[in-house]
Each structure stands twice: as C-alpha cells, then as structure tokens.
Amino acid sequence: MREVLPELMAWWEAGEEVGVGTVVATFRSAPRPPGASMLVGPDGTAVGSVSGGCVEGAVYDRAQSVVESGEPVLERYGVSDDDAFAVGLTCGGILDVYVEKVSRETFPELAEVRDHLEAGRPVAVATVIDHPDAAWVGRRVLIRPDAEASASLGSARADDAVRDDALGLLAAGNSGVLTYGPDGERRGEGMRVFVWAFAPKPRMLVFGAIDFAAAVARVGAFLGYHVTVCDARPVFATATRFPEADEVVVDWPHRYLRAEQQAGRVDGRTVVTVLTHDPKFDVPLLEVALRLPEVAYVGAMGSRRTHDDRLERLRDAGVTEAELDRLHSPIGLDLGARTPEETAISIAAEIIAGRWGGSGEPLARTEGRIHR
C-alpha cells in the first residue's frame, strides 16, 4: 500500500471511488508479499501490482465490479489444473487477494494513515476480510502503540485480541492475516483479519564517507531503507556528496552509533555497514556494533589482510568470539565486484540473503522452492 498511497490519496481527496486489491496471504512461490496493492482508478487507470503480471487482469475486473456493487470480496488465485496460464500464477504460488472499494465513506481514516506515515510514526490498519456474519466484513480499525484503537471491529473481545496481535506485527514490521473465532476467540476459526503494518522504514547506517558509501546509500534507498551516512570528517560528510542519503551526520562513528542505540533508534531491522577500513574509526565502532542486542546485519569492508588485523585488534579490545561471529567481513557476497556500484550490489545481496535465509548460490544450482 505504501508505494501506491500517493495516487490513492489523490483520488480519495477528490472524492472518487477506487477499487483496491491487496495481497493478504501468500503460499509457496508467490511473487508479491502481503500488503502489495493494485489500484483501479475512476478513469480505469491501473496503479501498482499484486502478482507481477500473472493475475492483474482478473483483479482489475474484480475491482471494477466491487466498486459497482460496494461489496468487498476475498479471492484466491493459484495454478489452474486445466490451464496454468488461465487466471492463476505460472510460478506455482497461491495468492489471497482482498478486493474492496475505497472512498471517503468506506475509509475515512486514510488521511490519518498518511499523516502517520509522513511523520514516521508506526501505525497498523486491521481490516476484517472474512467472517460468518457478512456485516463484519470490511470493518477496520487503526492501531498505534500509544493510542486507543480508532473504532471497533464489533466486540470488545475481538478488539482486544486484534490490538495485541497487531502491535506484535507492527513491532516486527510485518503485515499478515490473523485468525480468530467469530467473536475474537483465540482458539477458533471463522474471522480473518488482515493487518497492514506501516512501520517506519528500517535503517541503514553507512559509516565512512567514501565513494563506495555513495553507491551503498543509493542501493539502500532503492531497497527502502532510511539511509544515514556518518563520518567524523566534515569535509567529506556532506549532503552534496551523498544526495541519496536521508541524512548525513558529522560525528565519530562509535559515538553516534552508541547514542542512536541509547535513544532507541536501532532495532532488529537495522543494518550497519562499516566502510572506513581505518582502525581508528572501525575498531571502536565495531566494538559497539557487535555488542548491540538487536541488529540485522553488521558488515565491514577491507581486504583479507585488513580483516585479520581488525579481528586481532577487536580481540585485544575484549570482543568475544561469539560477538565476532556476527561480523560479515570482508563485506558482501563474492560477485567479482570491482566498481563502487558493483560492490554496493554485493553488499545488498548479502543483506537480502541474511534477511530471508538465502544461500547466495545461483538458483540454477539449487533445488526446491525458490521462496522459502
């Protein structure tokens, strides 16, 4: 939803009705994650994607019919036994897509969602997508960690259960379907609630204002990270040199990282890339980074000789072997990279592999499902 929100808001503010199809659950090798949305505007314009092209036509038609009827529907798309190129996914995956009409009347909270996103505040949107009582379908509430829910799904029990679970998804930055009994019973089936978790962007902290850092910042921004470049040298750490970064900080790297951790701005989604390969910068910095209680990735640039020297310095500083095991160094996957841009791709590839459990091997040499 985040990627199509500007177009949706423009139609919403103009008082138009928009058909919205959203991936709420995936099975096997589905091409788009939960939360991916496609819009069908009042002029027939299609914006966004739910499957990378496989079922867009079917969702487009369904969205138009939903706008006319006003009745939301939950559809499942998978491979057809008779014709894999019919309305289905040729990749072998399965998608559950919730299709609804969005307007000022059906989604009055949309402007509030936009405001929270622009301010960087976490917010979740919980929508009933399936229920034995059709009157419940389409009900939604906004959930924030520091505020009461915006409305009620239909009962106090359901509200309490969904709020607790939605806050868990929001903390992890994950969207997904929650299943309950018809009145929100923890044990039971009948009601399915989709939670859009709009957490702030994960952070990428790039230490070292060098040419490689500019390329890493560009790739990080492309991947959806909030990118910070930090260096103690003001002549190099400038916004002009790093236009793709969200912020450029002049400070000693270890001091900045410790302050960010103490302020609660480093979490389990944060990635740390150390590109200085200068002991006076990277050893104190890595002492802090490798001892962070929660961080997704810590990588450090340098030759194998630099890496071996760095390890000895870190051991001398009291860093344990268990802490050193968290370090990705030399940084990146072996792609044969030479240029800053190629090196940035190799670093990004290692981060992605770590996030999703990928092996880094060519897919042609692996077996089994592509998407774990």
* 85 pLDDT above the threshold of 60: no
Residue 282, sorted as left (phi over 0), alpha (psi -120 to 50) or beta, turns out to be alpha
pLDDT reported for residue 174? 85
| Confidence grade of residue 371 (pLDDT, cut at 50, 70, 90) | low
Q: Looking at the predicted structure, is the pLDDT value of residue 86 above 70?
A: no
pTM: 0.71
**Are residues 300 and 358 in contact, defined by beta-carbon separation less than 8 angstroms?**
no
Query: Has residue 141 got a pLDDT over 60?
Result: yes
pLDDT-derived band at 150 (thresholds 50, 70, 90) equals confident
- Which candidate, 318, 314, 328, places its Cα nearest to that of 286? 314
Mean pLDDT computed over 110-116: 94
Q: Quick one: tokens of 369?
A: 């499902």
Give the whole-angstrom CA distance, residue 245 versus residue 228. Answer: 6
- Report CA-CA distances (Å) from 291 to 87, 233, 261, 295, 318: 50, 25, 11, 9, 11
**Closest C-alpha among 168, 141, 136 to residue 154:** 136
Which pLDDT belongs to residue 81? 41
pLDDT at position 248 is 97
Cα gap 51→49, rounded to integer Å: 6
256 CB neighbour count, 10 Å cutoff: 20
Size of the chain in residues? 372
- Return the pLDDT at 82: 45
3-state helix, strand, coil in the chain (%, to 5): 35, 20, 45
Round to whole Å and give the CA distance between 59 and 62.
Answer: 5
Mean residue pLDDT across the chain: 90
For 54-79, what is each residue's pLDDT tens digit?
Answer: 788 999 999 999 999 999 999 998 75
Q: How far apart are CA 62 and CA 75, in angstroms?
A: 9
Handedness of CA 213, 215, 219, 222 (dihedral sign): positive
Task: Please report which confidence band the pLDDT of residue 83 belongs to, taking 50, 70 and 90 as the band edges.
Answer: very low
Give the pLDDT confidence score for residue 27 in this predicted structure.
Answer: 80
Please report, as a single letter, which amino acid is at residue 248: V
* Residue, of 4 and 2, whose pLDDT is higher: 4
230 has a pLDDT exceeding 90: yes
User: How far apart (Å, rounded) are the C-alpha atoms in residues 116 and 110?
Assistant: 10
Instruction: Read off φ and ψ for residue 349, nearest 5 degrees.
Output: -65, -40
pLDDT 10s digits, 11-36:
999 999 999 999 999 886 666 788 99
